[in-house]
Structures are given as C-alpha cells and as structure tokens.
Amino acid sequence: MVRKGTQFVEIWQDGQAFKDIDEYLNNDSREIAENNRLKDELEKIRKAINKRKPNDKNCLGIRSPTDRVRRTRGVLEESTAHNSMMPINQSCSVEDYQRYEELYKIRLNTLKKEEIELNIEREKLEKERDLHIKNMKIFANEESSRFNHNPKLNNNRYLILDMLGRGGFSEVFKAFDLNEFKFVACKIHQLNFQWTEAKKHNFVRHAVREYKIHSTLDHPNIVKFLDVFEIDNDSFGTVMEYCDGNDLDTYLKQNKIIPERDARFIIVQVAQALRYMNELRPSIIHFDLKPGNILLLSGINAWHVKIADFGLSKTLPVEGDETSIDLTTPGAGTYWYLPPECFFTGINPTKISSKVDVWSVGIIFYQCLYGRKPFGNDLSQTNILEQNTILNATSITFPMKPIVSTEAKDFIRCCLVYNKENRMDVIQMSEMPYLKYRKPERSTLPPPLTNLKISDY
C-alpha cells in the first residue's frame, strides 16, 4: 500500500526474480555492445591486413572474450572471469584475424540466444504476476463479501461457492444449482444503504431492464439467462449459465496478441451473436462490447465464444422504421471501445444504433491482432475524455508487425469509419466476405486455462 495524496493505493513491487532477469538482460546488452565494438576494431585490422602482405604471426591486440551468463537447472549464474586488454598489434596474421572473427561471431550468437531465452523467461514471470495479482484481488473481495460463508439462496436452491469477480454494485459467484445439479453463475446486485431513494430506484430500474433484456436472448454465442430471485430488501440475484474458461481480456493480458485466423474466428462468433440481437423485435444494442465481456470457453468447447453483461444494453423501438434511439446514458460504457458519436455534446441527445457495436468490434479485433487498442491505449478513461481522444479518432494506422492481411485491415477500417452515417451496421458487417465461412485451419492458440477466474459477467 502506498499513500497518494489522501488515499492509499495498491502498487505491485516486482520481486528478486524480476530483478535478476533485468540484471542479466542489462549484462547481455553491455556485452553485445562491447562485442560489436571489438568487431569494429577487428574490421579496421582486416583493412590494414589487406593493404600489406600478411607475414606476422603475432597475436591480435584486442580484449579477450568475457564469460557468458549461463543457466544451470533454471538458476542463473554469472562467472567472474577477468577481462584483460592486450596491446593493439596491427601486424597480426591472416590466420589470427580469421580465428578472432569466428570467435566474435560465435560469441555474438550466444549472447543473442540467451537474450531471447531471458525475455521468454521474463514474459513467463509477467504472466504469473498478472494472474497472481488478479487472484489476490478476487480473494480480498471475497473475504469482504457478506456472501463469503457459502450460503444457500433462493429457498436453498443455489449454493454459493467461489467469487468470480466484482463490479461496481454487484458480485458474481460460481454456484451450484441443487435442483438441476449443475454449476451456474450467480450475480448478486446490492443497493447501498447510504443511497437516496431516488438513486435506489434508478439502480433497480437499470438492473431489472438488464435481466429483462437478457432473459429474451437465446443464442449459442450469448451467455444464457436462467433465473432471478430476491434476497432481501436491498439485494437480489440473477442466475446465468456457468462458462468454464477465460474472458478475452484475461487471455490478451496473458498472451498479448492472437494470430489473425484465430482472432477472426472469435470475431465471426461475436458478429453472429450481434446479428441475432439485431434481428430481434425489438432489436438490441449491446453498447458495452469489450474483451472483458467476451468469454472463451475451455475443455471440449474450447474457443467457443459467448457474449456477457447486458447492463448497458438498449432496445430499439418496435414500431416504425426507426433504427436509432437517443443516447440517454452519456458517460456510461468503456471509452476505448465507444465510437465518436457517444462523445458528442449539444442541445439535442445523440442518436445511436447498432453501429455502436460495429465500432466496438473493430477496436476489439485490432487489439487481438496488435496487442494494443488503436486509440488511447496508454490513457485512462478520464484522460480520454479530457483530451477528446475518440472525438479526434478520424483515421487509423497499422503497425508493421505482426503481419496482418489486407482483408483484415480493410474490415477494421470499415468498422472504424468516423461518421456513423457512413459506417456499416451489424447486418452489413456480418455479411462482409471476410467474415464468411472458410475451410478451418489448425489453430495456433494455446488452450484456455480452466483455473483462471472469469472477471465479470
């Protein structure tokens, strides 16, 4: 815990394993630089040799090679061999030059190989650290929850087990349905006793709208809604199918990027779910699509995708030809994934449509391919709002690496058209040739980990 102003915040401090890795990486960098310097000296000597007839067998005047940092049974050690500088001798023989040239080539290759191994080791430590931090937070939240004693809710039907995640005013638990004999996810909504009656009423209204929308959905790529029940005057629960696996946000934090054909497979499933929602009457806008709300199943259903969390969803009018509605919740949502029209201000409310979800799909796909969000990646939500980051997102650039197909880039560009009038809607997106069925290829994705806790539903 570190004090910042009047608050205490949690800051992770890397342990000795990270310090050792960084020290060895720094040593490797210094040795590579030294090796390159000596190679430059050797090149000068080679040019000198070419200007004369080699007849001198004297030793080459350069620094002897340093010992390597080596890994023995997973333990990194550094030898302390002494480096001595021998006097430069420009009259060395061709045989001497060739011998030292080969020596420095071998030495440089060895250094670069170990640098790669050390970076792989560091990435492994980072994955373990991120998972540990996540589970520590969940454990702390579970300890402070009023439902941490494994109660049975709804007339003893649902046995509350481990916490899966905590949102602003709700907690999600893995539970066991004692009537149906299966695991479920139980989301417990709680009112703050300090709220005014008006705020409590507004919270209940939004929560009821969420489960009413969710309960109408029945699609293989959408988390299935199962039940709703009252707990007491200030809390109630909603029950959904339990998805054993990861959310996409956790997977990206662990693996950084996803190969294009595998990322496309995820987006295809998301697009099919959105099309289904768009074809309903009334049609539904998700409005909060982000990696944390896309679940990746594991086991026999590995890489089957399900969309979750309909807390900000909107329904379009049933009658008439209206395909858009007024944005009544400005400021809500996750700013990195919302389109520019959600940030417009003026006298009249902004009109939104399914094109909001299309923009979100483009951002998510870009993040899967490149490991970063295209707009405001390093900014907080507050900074995005203050700097008008999304309002200024009029064009998109693509990194040189990793290599991504032209078709994928074109699809992203179509999703991220700035003016909503020119952006395709969900139906048009789902019909793009890039998302049409192709002969399946062998996936390069590592399997999802079943021991990770899903952050949110």
- CA 199 – CA 181 distance, rounded (Å): 37
Q: Which of 96, 249, 288, 456 is catalytic?
A: 288
How far is 338 from 381, CA to CA, in rounded Å? 11
C-alpha–C-alpha distance, residues 318 and 329, integer Å: 20
Which among 36, 44, 43, 46 has a CA at the least distance from the CA of 109?
36
Closest alpha carbon to 265 in 414, 456, 455, 441: 441
First to last CA, the chain: 29
Residue 202 tokens, joined = 């507004």
159: enclosing H helix or E strand: strand 158-166
Structure tokens at 451: 């021991």
Asked if residue 187 belongs to a known ligand binding site, the reply is yes
Cα 243 from chain centre: 19
CA gap 404, 412 in Å, rounded: 11
Instruction: Tell me if residue 28 is catalytic.
Output: no
DSSP letters for 168-211: SSEEEEEEEETTTTEEEEEEEEE--TTS-HHHHHHHHHHHHHHH
For the chain, how many residues are written?
A: 457
Residue 311 to residue 172: CA distance in whole angstroms: 14
Helical (H) or strand (E) element with 33: helix 16-50
- Tokens found for residue 129: 């650290």
Q: Which residues are annotated as a binding site for ATP?
A: 187
| Catalytically active residues, by annotation | 288
Q: Which residues are annotated as a binding site?
A: 187
